[in-house]
Amino acid sequence: MKNLLDYNMEELMVWLKENSESSFRAKQIFSWIYKGIFSFDEMKNLPKNLKEKLNSNFKIYIPEVVDVYSSNLDGTKKMLLKLEDGNLIESVIMKYKHGNTICVSTQVGCRMGCKFCASTIEGRVRNLTSGEILGQVLRAGEVEGERISNIVLMGSGEPLDNYDNVVKFLREVNAEYGLNIGQRHITLSTCGLVPKIRDLSNEGLNVTLAISLHAFSDEKRREIMPIANKYSISEILEECRNYIEKTNRRVTFEYSLVKDINDSKEDAKALSKLLKGILCHVNLIPVNEIKENSFKRSSEKTIEDFAQILKSAGIEATVRREMGSDINAACGQLRRSYMKNKA
């Protein structure tokens, strides 16, 4: 049976027509779903025989909540969710002044192999469908009891390694009949799959592009990110310039600071030089220490100095405020510890 959430309006209209139903029903069905009604039987304006048809062809599957961990510090909620096939994923709800933000996963696991990241340790299990990504946002709205107004694709997985489903998801959440979340309120983070960044720039989507850079040179980057063997920083920056030109959007560079690896003043200076002249913003992320590796967080002073060097060079930089530090919120840690305990 198919998950209706994997269908968009157009596809449902086609299905309805093929099944001798009026296509306007699609709008009614989606409007119920986006009101939080996940059962066809409760969709009051649908005729009985249509409900039966829908019930025998579709289900509405929203990932199930296994656990919610709430931070006492800042209200961050980490959800451990179960998919229909039993796979577990994580999504995080963060409460910012500018609105509730959800961090969604796009794959079960990840195959990019970044050395500091917990999500990738056991590789990629599978891609999430567009409906499973959307389902995380719907579930978050329910758990939070408030509108989710911002989305970051920064959970487990590499969004551009699941390109079609991710783009379909982006259009769905943006749709007026859907959650109507503006593209400016959506950030897609990638480790830098160059051809896919080019494709994304041609989609007519104006989401914010975030690049996980983490190093100023290819040589350094290769030590922590295997993807750097495939694409060079200069190729990535060329795609960024193209993305900026097409979308008029400022690009974000993520830079996870790891003690003695990429956090020296020389690193900061070289990074400033590299990014000079690009419409961008640097997001410094003090590395989240995980027990599977020995990467250590830079000291507060080092982090401050690093940010200051960038700023002095005219590059906008902010240090990412750590959210939910009391609830083990780094990517992939929750799923891993849960699976370990079960095993």
Q: Is 39 annotated as a binding residue?
A: no
In this structure, is the dihedral angle defined by the CA atoms of residues 8, 10, 12 and 15, taken in order, positive or negative? negative
- Distance in angstroms (rounded) separating the CA atoms of residues 145 and 210: 28
Q: Give, for 74, the enclosing helix (H) or strand (E).
A: none
**Residue 90 among the catalytic residues:** yes
Among 92, 330, 335, 336, binds ligand SAH (CB under 6 A): 330
Q: Which is nearer to ligand SAH, 239 or 254 (CB)?
A: 254
Tell me which stretch binds ligand SAH (CB under 6 A): 3-11, 31-39, 283-291, 304-312.
283-291
x/- letters, 232..271, toward ligand SAH (CB under 6 A): ----------------------x-x---------------
Task: Report the distance separating Cα 114 and Cα 254, nearest Å.
Answer: 14
CA 161 → CA 113, 304, 315, distances in Å?
13, 34, 29
Residue 212 binds to ligand SAH (criterion: CB under 6 A): yes
Within 8 A by CB and 6+ apart from 64, the residues are 81, 82
| 208 or 256: CB nearest ligand SAH | 256
Q: 108, 83 in Cβ contact below 8 A? A: yes
Q: Which of 181, 261, 290, 323 binds ligand SAH (CB under 6 A)?
A: 290
Q: Does residue 114 touch ligand SAH according to CB under 6 A?
A: yes
Helix (H) or strand (E) segment spanning residue 286: strand 280-286
Site string for ligand SAH, 123-162 (x = CB under 6 A): -------------------------------x---x----
Helix (H) or strand (E) holding 337: helix 333-342
The secondary element (H helix, E strand) that includes residue 29 is helix 25-33
The catalytic residue among 90, 132, 239, 254 is 90
- The interface mask with ligand SAH, positions 172-191, x = CB under 6 A, is -----------------xxx
Largest distance between two CA atoms of the chain = 69
**Counting contacts by CB under 6 A, is residue 228 touching ligand SAH?**
no
Rounded to a whole number of angstroms, the minimum distance from the CB of residue 316 to ligand SAH is 17
Q: Is 240 a catalytic residue?
A: no
167 or 330: CB nearest ligand SAH: 330
Nearest-angstrom CA–CA distance, 184 and 179: 14
Q: How far apart are CA 188 and CA 300, in angstroms?
A: 28
Catalytic residues: 90, 331
Q: Which residues sit at the interface with ligand SAH, rule CB under 6 A?
A: 112, 114, 116-117, 154, 158, 189-191, 212, 254, 256, 285, 287-288, 290, 330-331
